[in-house]
Amino acid sequence: MDFETGMENLTSVCDSDCDCSPDPALLADFKRAIHALGGKWKLEILFALMNGAVRFGALRRSIGGITQHMLTTQLRELEQDGLVSRSAFAEKPLRVEYELTDAAYGLLPAFKEILSWSRLYGDARLVASQQA
């Protein structure tokens, strides 16, 4: 999808007398994506699942600081949004695995861009905080 945001050249596409409101349909799509990915832990959960199915306990251990309750809540929301699938296996003890859906794997290019951005600009923030 091609659309102009005005950020391509870091200049405004508006004159002082125009209405700079974003396209309502584009804004609605953006809000839906932000809602699905928003939250303190969702992106970390999705990133942790990028290499395949993971059991609940291993997933919790891989994300430092998240509580069992919060992980459960975030996984349920991700499942409702169609980004994570849950598989329960009738074993003793019960085994539950979570994995990304095809829709979530579509985020891989975005994750790669975020990592590139972090490598480029993340160090600048670290250097600035050390100089302060």
Residue 43: phi and psi, rounded to 5, are: -65, -35
Q: What is the pLDDT of residue 76?
A: 96
Separation between Cα atoms, residue 108 and residue 105, nearest integer Å: 6
Task: Give the predicted TM-score (pTM) of the model.
Answer: 0.72
Separation between Cα atoms, residue 82 and residue 51, nearest integer Å: 18
Separation between Cα atoms, residue 80 and residue 70, nearest integer Å: 15
Mean pLDDT by 10 residues, the chain (132 residues): 50 57 83 85 94 94 95 96 94 92 93 89 69 64
Q: What is the pLDDT of residue 1?
A: 47
Q: What is the pLDDT of residue 71?
A: 97
Q: What is the pLDDT of residue 62?
A: 95
Separation between Cα atoms, residue 93 and residue 78, nearest integer Å: 25
